[in-house]
Amino acid sequence: MNKRKEIIRFAIYALVVVLLNIALQTAFFRIDLTENGTYSLTNVSEEMVNGLEEPLTVKIYITKNLPSPYNNLEQNIKDILSEYALAGNRNFNYDIYVISNLDEEKAESSNDFEEDAKSYGINPIQIQQVDQSEINLTSAYMGAVFIHADMIETIPVINQNENMEYLITSTVMKMQEKTSRLLSLEEDISMKLYLSSSLIGLSPELRTYPEQLEAVVDSLNKINYNRITFEWIDTDNSSKPDFEKYGFAPLNFKDNAGAVTEAFASAVLEYGDNSTSFDVLNRGIFGYSIQDPAAIEDQLNGVVERLIGVGNNVAWLSDHGTLQLYSQNQQQYGEPSVASFVNLASDRYNLEPVALSTDLIPDNAGSMIIARPQPFQPYSDWDLYQIDQFLMKGGNVAVFMDGFMEYIPQQQGLQGQMQQQQQPIYIPRNTGLEKLLDFYGVSVGLSYVMDNNCFHQQQQSASGIMDIPIYFAPQIKPENINTELPSLDGIKGLIMLNNSPVVISEELPEGRNATVLFSSSDESWLVEDAQQINLYNPMMIMPPASFDDKGNYPLAALLEGKFTSYFADKGVPEQPAPAEEAEDAELSEDYQIEMDRISREENMIESTDTGKLFVFGSSLAVSDNLIDQNGTSTNSIMLLNILDEMNGNGDFALMRKKGLNYSPLNDTEPGVKTFIKTFNMAIIPIFTIVAGLLVWLSWSRRKRKIAAMFSEAENE
């Protein structure tokens, strides 16, 4: 009877265990204990993947058993894709194709995976592999393909530090936006090839160039809903193109008879009033080369996205001596480059150069960046009016400038030859923009911030390695960063360069709030005398013996809320007439209309309740000096987060902070350090000795007690 009860009890327990396992399979859950939520999705990603209306397939092509530091990449990708699968609906699917990296292990399926990867534009890359004290190069696949409806987006290489959630969500959202834009186009995008038939005989490639370019357009149409048309225009048998409008130049062609005629070899992608051109023939050292259409297919797809307005538009002020988006002479003239920032920001935003002297700020721009305006090209009242009205219309503005302009004079030698450069001269940066900022309640001080807590440079010398403090490169501590702002959340350190203090007015109008983004340490000081400024030889900088103005200084600030127009009580300034219009008026009286016959009144907006103005006291904050190419440094993430906030994409900051890998240790007081050192070196050994003695005494006592017990037994 008892045995029967035991069998029944065992069967019930087994049934409970089986049912519990079945229940847990349907009630799967995970808990992410990481500080930044590295292994869980943000709300914006969950909403995106759960709201998919068209099938989305993510294909990952990755080599098996990748060496360090890529050895965890496959597992990280699997983990994040499984999170998307749990949060998504039935339209989300993913496949991971593992490719063997050893020839003897390669199966037929692995070869098929390689062919598939190459068909999507994913090719193997060379990575280092350390094996038995040898460094070898091995080929590896690490790419991804996104297939959403009829669109395909390829990521040829996934970096080991890639923020996978940001990569997946931003790519899919961009594809969704592009699909919506393409389906709502009022007219097709046109690709026009202006190629003179007189040039075709110069090369066999030129004879078939129209067919090659048309094949590229057909390929682009497969992922752009057939919204691109192609037309070859032989300029020898038709009217000349408006090459000044499109931005390309004619060629001077000499025929067999020696006669020089005008010919064209350029292509134009155009939609509405927007267009982009490229030259078919590019001049090099050894002559002209023909642009391969297949080699620029990806670039042309990017041009299509820009033409139809995929991504937010950001106005980059390009005149008045500001840093240039695209300049081939930056290194030659020592100009700071912003190429890294441009490449990183271009993943989601269209950076459009705007010259206020000739252009109007585009209506579709949601934000504006002013980087390093120069004092020798001051802003006119009309320029300031455009900036002011952009802010009043709800646009957000970011200004990057320090208090001085560095000017390096060149000494002329004999026969006009340049001699050695002299020491820089620092000129106060009086650009005209200052009065606008002052009116809004913020200014950039005419001084530079030096900080004892700064970046240190290691330099080899005859006596060994020297540690040189760069006092004009403050290293921002975590406690001096306002992490309550979403754009700075998770940022635990920054490095700035050539920073002036940002001064916030003590009396801001009601409804306008000012927030310090980050500041220098308590051991910083100001250099205000232009004759004493030294930003070129850090070894000659000595901290002052005593500090009268020692303390931390704001290096960047945000003003938001209600703004009143600077021109509200001044009226609309007069718009200067363009030089071209003035010349036309002098040349032809038939097209002149007297100014007193026609007038137009500007509709000034006098206030806004939703303005945002970011002011950084460094012109180099957006330069390659502080921004890395991969966008993984804290400086890069901070600026990209602010750009997202300026364009209404603040949720992306939550995803981007998961890629932060900089987590410095907290500073420890000297007394605490001494106590910990003493505890480890003295107290722990003493405690160990005392504990050992106590154990030895206990064992000895127990030994004597046992011996006494046996002695008594023997006596009995």
pLDDT for 437: 96
Q: Which region holds residue 334: left if phi is over 0, alpha if psi is between -120 and 50, else beta?
A: left
Tens digits of residue pLDDT in 252-264: 888 777 788 888 8
Average pLDDT over residues 100-104: 60
Q: What confidence score (pLDDT) does residue 592 get?
A: 36
- Tell me which amino acid residue 502 is: V
Instruction: Check if the beta carbon of residue 309 is closer than 8 Å to that of residue 182.
Output: no
Reported as a single tens digit per residue, the pLDDT across 576-604 is 765 554 444 443 443 333 434 344 456 78
CA–CA gap between residue 256 and residue 241 (Å, rounded): 25
Sequence-distant (6+) residues with CB within 8 A of 601 are: 572
Between residues 70 and 331, the one the model is more confident about: 70
What's the confidence (pLDDT) of residue 652? Answer: 84
646: part of which helix (H) or strand (E)?
helix 634-646
Report residue 715's pLDDT band, with 50, 70 and 90 as the boundaries.
Answer: low
Compute the average pLDDT of residues 283-288: 65
* Two tokens, residue 46: 């969950």
The amino acid at residue 398 is A
pLDDT computed for residue 601 by the predictor: 53
Q: What is the pLDDT of residue 581?
A: 43
Cis peptide leading into 69, omega within 30 of 0? yes
Q: Quote the tokens at residue 499.
A: 């920073």
Task: Please state, for a pLDDT cut of 70, what percent of the chain lies above it.
Answer: 87
Q: Tell me the per-residue pLDDT of 4-45, one tens digit each, with 9 for 90 and over.
A: 778 888 888 888 888 888 777 666 566 777 766 777 888 889
pLDDT confidence tier of residue 535, bands split at 50, 70 and 90: confident
CA distances from residue 588 to 292, 334, 584, 591, 593 in whole angstroms, order as listed: 45, 44, 6, 6, 11
| Fold entry, domain 43-183 | Glutaredoxin (3.40.30)
Residue 410: the pLDDT is 64
Q: How far is CA 286 from CA 283, 289, 335, in A?
A: 8, 9, 29
pLDDT (tens digit per residue) in 175-216: 888 888 898 898 999 999 998 888 887 888 888 899 999 999
Q: What is the mean pLDDT of residues 269-292?
A: 79
Do 399 and 429 form a contact (C-beta atoms < 8 A)?
no
pLDDT at 448 over 90: yes
pLDDT at 503: 96
Q: 189-303 architecture in CATH?
A: 3-Layer(aba) Sandwich (3.40)
CA angle (615 as vertex; 611, 618 as ends), nearest 5? 160
**pLDDT at position 284 over 90:** no
pLDDT score at 110 = 66
Does 626 score more than 90 pLDDT?
yes
Q: What is the model's pLDDT at position 508? A: 93
Q: What pLDDT does residue 547 have?
A: 64
Mean of all residue pLDDT scores within the chain = 83
286-292 mean pLDDT = 77
Point out the least confidently predicted range of 79-93, 358-372, 434-448. Answer: 358-372
**Res 593: pLDDT:** 33
Residue 399 scores a pLDDT above 60: yes
Q: pLDDT-based confidence at 559, cuts 50/70/90?
A: very high
Q: How far, rounded to the nearest angstrom, does the alpha carbon of residue 517 sit from its chain's CA centroid?
A: 19
* Structure confidence at residue 333 (pLDDT): 54
Bridging pattern class, strands 56-63 and 142-148:
antiparallel
pLDDT of 108: 58
Percent of the chain scoring above 90 in pLDDT: 33
| Higher pLDDT pick, 548 / 245 | 245
Give the mean model confidence (pLDDT) for residues 534-553. Answer: 80
H or E stretch at 276: strand 274-279
- Please give the distance of CA 288 from its chain centroid, rounded to a whole number: 35
Q: Which two tokens stand for residue 299?
A: 């670039």
pLDDT tens-place string over residues 474-527: 999 999 999 999 899 889 899 999 999 999 999 999 999 999 999 999 999 999
Prediction pTM value: 0.75
Look at residue 593 and give its three-state secondary structure.
coil
Number of neighbouring beta carbons within 10 Å of residue 693: 10
* Most confident of the following: 150-159, 289-298, 331-340, 536-545: 150-159
- Scanning 249-404, the segments in alpha helix (DSSP H) are 297-307, 339-345, 381-392
Q: For position 29, what pLDDT does the model report? A: 63
**503, HSE (Cβ side, Cα atoms, 13 Å):** 17
Least confident of 357-371, 534-548, 569-583: 569-583
Q: Give yes or no for a contact between 404 and 448, defined as CB atoms under 8 angstroms apart.
A: yes
State the average pLDDT over residues 59-70: 88
What DSSP assignment string belongs to 680-712?
IIIIHHHHHHHHHHHHHHHHHHHHHHHHHHHHH
Q: What is the pLDDT of residues 629-648, one digit of tens each?
A: 888 889 999 999 999 999 88
Question: What's the CA gap between 475 and 493, in Å, rounded?
Answer: 7
Amino acid 482: pLDDT:
95
What is the per-residue burial (b if ≥16 Cβ within 10 Å, else e) of 394-415?
A: ebbbbbbbbbbbbeeeeeeeee
Band (pLDDT 50/70/90 cuts) for residue 331 is very low
State the Cα–Cα distance between residues 572 and 564, nearest whole angstrom: 14
Between 453 and 549, residue with greater pLDDT:
453
Q: Which class is domain 311-412+419-573+603-659?
A: alpha beta
Q: Flag whether pLDDT at 395 surpasses 80.
A: yes
